[in-house]
Amino acid sequence: MTTSIANRVRISAIVQQANAESARQDGDGNMLWQSTWSMVASINSRLASTSAPSAPDPALLDHDMHDLWHTYWHGAINTAPNSSKLDRLALGIVQAREQGVCNLKLVHATEPGSESSLDESQHELVTLPRVPATTSDGARIWTDLPFLAQDMTTHWTSDCAAMSSAQRLSGAQFLAMLAAAGAAPDDALCGIALVVLREALETPRPLAAVADQPDPGRQMRDLGVADLLPAANAWLFTAGRKLVQLSDAERGDQFPDEVGRLGELIVAVDAASSGGGGGGRGLIGAGEVPPRHGGFSLQRWMWWLRRLEQIVSVATGDDGISQGEESGLSFESLVQGMMDNMLLIAKQTSGSIAEALRRSAGRISHQPVMQLLGPDRAGVPGTVGMGSWS
């Protein structure tokens, strides 16, 4: 590791710790959205003033990108759920991408007396063809938003368990906005939706919520279904159409295994359908098991719907299950609202999911009423009219 890289690593650690602590202390009033734009402007100014025979070390630019996404993440999770400030943070990333490719002006000095030198007594600076500023993986600043999807996936998986219920919901809303806007190439951010839905619906865990406050020592296995459903619903409401499109297109193998893999409950269904025993019978019929490589698929979408119906039937009348104060919903109402979102979004399309729902009338007994995001099922901003599949 060169001295310049070592120094940059130390600076990054200091900056990230300071920004995270500042956001934690300031909460919804944090001003990291201003810090992010200052960071973007600083990167632009530094690259615009480059006058060297070669591009900056890509490893230095890697740290610039990691620091930027870290700042956005902590600004978002410490902002109150449903706040317009989350929109501003998400818009900032889209605006950064729309700056396009950051091209570098490179120069080199000719030797005195060379054919390209006008003055034999002096070196002449010759401008070279402009080249794009890239990170170590070849991604272009800003068009490709280097490391955005990877870093946000890491932040979610690393922080999800320890976050408060409000932080978890804010983080999910922020990420879903970015995914819905297509911020990352190849819809890579939508892989986080797979992680959220796998943990909420495909993983054995108790129903009740336990994680209203932050707890650095908490693990994913400690969370209940009710802790994760608000985040899952945020994805379905905000980026639902994108998720339906990916499922219709069977977009599965583009995601890393740790992101797109199936959860334990689906794997058990697959084993049972193959004669290997296991649980989950009744959720899915023969030939309806999601593809083993995971990712998005018609079969997985339908499995999520049936799993939600199963959860409602188990939770009905259980007064011990709550959603935390920022939700304001009974557990049953939240789950029914999630099914509303899934069914109504699919109804607005003409793909394989919509067709499967029409063909399988009766397999999903829930009838959608409205899309759900806010604290009340009636009068929620963004709700849609009554509808049915008949």
Q: What crossing angle do the helices spanning 331-347 and 225-248 adopt, rounded to 10°?
A: 10
Provide the 3-class DSSP secondary structure of residue 278. coil
Looking at the chain, the whole-number percentage of residues with pLDDT higher than 90 is 65
Q: Name the more confident of 167 and 315.
A: 167
Indicate whether 371 pLDDT > 90: no
Indicate whether 363 pLDDT > 50: yes
Q: What are the tokens at 304? A: 């999520």
How large is the average pLDDT for residues 1-16? 92
Q: What are the tokens at 237? A: 């409401």
Q: Is 220 exposed, middle or buried (0-12, 13-18, 19+ CB in 10 A)?
A: middle
pLDDT per position as a tens digit, 291-320: 988 999 999 999 999 999 999 988 875 555
Helix then strand count (H, E) for the chain reads: 13, 4
Q: What is the mean pLDDT of the chain?
A: 85
Indicate whether 287 pLDDT > 80: no
d(CA 62, CA 95): 20
Residue 289: which residues within 8 A CB-CB, separation 6 or more? 266, 269, 270, 273, 299
d(CA 192, CA 176): 9
**Can you give the pLDDT at residue 4?**
87
pLDDT per position as a tens digit, 240-280: 999 999 999 998 778 999 999 999 999 987 676 665 444 44
Q: Name the more confident of 332 and 87.
A: 87
pTM of the model: 0.86
Maximum separation of any 2 CA atoms in the chain, in Å? 91
Long-range CB contact pairs, 335-338, < 8 A, 24+: 335/229, 335/308, 335/311, 336/312, 336/366, 336/377, 337/233, 337/370, 337/371, 337/372, 337/377, 338/229, 338/232, 338/233, 338/236, 338/308, 338/372
Q: Exposure pattern of 225-244 as b/e (b: 16+ CB <10 Å)? A: bbbbbbbbbbbbbbbbebbb
**Can you give the pLDDT at residue 279?**
44
d(CA 284, CA 298): 12
pLDDT per position as a tens digit, 72-107: 999 999 999 999 999 999 999 999 999 999 998 876
- φ, ψ dihedrals at 18, nearest 5°: -65, -45
**Can you give the pLDDT at residue 321?**
60
